[in-house]
Amino acid sequence: MTVRLSDKVALIIGSARGIGRGIAERFKEEGALIVLADSEAETGAATAAALGAPFICVDVSQKADVDAAVALALSRYGRLDIIVQNAGIYPWQLLENTTPEDWDRVMSVNLKGCFLAARAALDPMRQQGGGKILFTSSITGPHVTSPGHGHYSATKAGINGLIRAAALEFSGYGITVNGVEPGNILTEAIQLHRSPDFIRSMEEAIPLGRLGSVRDVANAFVFLASTEADYITGTTIIVDGGQLLPEGNDFRLAPDRP
Ligand SMILES: NC(=O)c1ccc[n+]([C@@H]2O[C@H](COP(=O)([O-])OP(=O)(O)OC[C@H]3O[C@@H](n4cnc5c(N)ncnc54)[C@H](O)[C@@H]3O)[C@@H](O)[C@H]2O)c1
């Protein structure tokens, strides 16, 4: 079996469940030495125990917490090769009902969290001569949006800007900065909170005919974290089953159409 992240030390923030847990699982399968961080103490500890990984409870919007997560990886394994900032919140809220405090919270976790992660990883990665900084962006914000996702969309578009700026500034240190833009992914949360009808209607909007799995997203992270992506920086990979492609709703060819 090919192991693509053999002995690479990877810190994954926002890894208690969902896409982040999927990234942690895939990285471990590929031979990485993973360290998990999340704001959910119980779920995070349970996930870490299941994966045999160290865990630290953090709020990614707090500099001291993010620094402590990087320090844990360094003290446990002596280096930091990969950092993934995947933690994100997406409260449904129309702009007309969004208070400045609501706005600041989503910005702090989703966008400032990525800045803090990049900033915390910079020194150790620079000292060791390189590293890979990865963020979870979204198709929502950079390309499309829907009502109720104003603050969220702004953060994810902002993450793509941060990816480009950090990639350029860190290029002289051998550090690459990239991201993944998931489409609609079938996480535990979506399965719990959305009706089968809603999920079916989402499937109909996706050319490949299904929602993505956390592994679909995690596979893109594995590639960007691996040496196969050494010459890629400042960009994102869209993992959306073709959702962004259609010009209109009627995109399926009828079977009897020539
Ligand atoms: N699920 C999707 O369809 C989808 C699509 C596009 C992008 N995304 C992005 O993928 C990422 C993961 O989403 P998910 O669907 O797996 O969500 P999720 O809520 O299942 O997982 C998010 C994780 O981040 C943690 N977290 C939240 N706030 C935190 C904080 N302040 N500090 C540290 N950890 C915190 C949560 O505890 C949780 O473990 C998010 O950035 C989200 O915006 C998800």
Nearest-CA residue for atom 13 of ligand 1? 19
What is the domain count for the chain? Answer: 1
| Residue 114 near residue 85, CB atoms below 8 Å | yes
pTM reported for the whole predicted model: 0.97
| Residue 212 near residue 111, CB atoms below 8 Å | no
- Rounded to the nearest whole angstrom, what is the distance from the C-alpha of residue 11 to the centroid of ligand 1? 15
Residue 77 has pLDDT above 60, yes or no: yes
Tokens of 235: 């960009």
Per-residue pLDDT, 254:
67
Which of the following is catalytic: 77, 90, 152, 231? 152
DSSP 112: I
Average pLDDT over residues 225-248: 97
- Here the CATH number for the domain that contains residue 13 is 3.40.50.720
Per-residue pLDDT, 1:
66
- Rounded to the nearest whole angstrom, what is the distance from the C-alpha of residue 235 to the centroid of ligand 1? 20
Tell me whether residue 253 is in a domain.
Answer: no
Q: Is 231 a catalytic residue?
A: no
Tell me whether residue 208 is in a domain.
Answer: yes
Residue 239 has pLDDT above 80, yes or no: yes
Tell me whether residue 3 is in a domain.
Answer: no
- Rounded to the nearest whole angstrom, what is the distance from the C-alpha of residue 183 to the centroid of ligand 1? 13
Average pLDDT over residues 142-157: 97
What Cα–Cα distance (Å) separates residue 230 from each residue in 177, 178, 208, 233? 10, 11, 29, 8
Tell me whether residue 131 is in a domain.
Answer: yes
Q: Could you tell me the pLDDT band of residue 221, with boundaries at 50, 70 and 90?
A: very high
Which atom of ligand 1 is the closest one to the Cα of 184?
A: 3
- Rounded to the nearest whole angstrom, what is the distance from the C-alpha of residue 64 to the centroid of ligand 1? 20
Residue 32 has pLDDT above 80, yes or no: yes
Ligand 1 binding site (Cβ under 6 Å of any ligand atom): 13-14, 16-20, 38-40, 58-61, 86-90, 109, 136, 138, 182, 184-185, 187, 189
Tell me whether residue 258 is in a domain.
Answer: no
Q: pLDDT for 104-113, tens place per residue?
A: 999 999 999 9
Residue 258 has pLDDT above 60, yes or no: no
Tell me whether residue 252 is in a domain.
Answer: no
Per-residue pLDDT, 249:
81
End-to-end CA distance of the chain: 44
Residue 183 has pLDDT above 90, yes or no: yes
Average pLDDT over residues 11-17: 98
Per-residue pLDDT, 2:
73
Per-residue pLDDT, 256:
62
DSSP 1: -
Q: What secondary structure, in 3-state letters, does 54-106 show?
A: CEEECCCCCHHHHHHHHHHHHHHHCCCCEEEECCCCCCCECHHHCCHHHHHHH
Residue 84 has pLDDT above 70, yes or no: yes
Residue 228 has pLDDT above 90, yes or no: yes
Tokens of 98: 């969004």
| Residue among 21, 23, 36, 38 to mutate when testing ligand 1 (max atoms within 8 A of CB) | 38
Tell me whether residue 224 is in a domain.
Answer: yes
Tell me whether residue 116 is in a domain.
Answer: yes
- Domain coverage including residue 113: 9-239
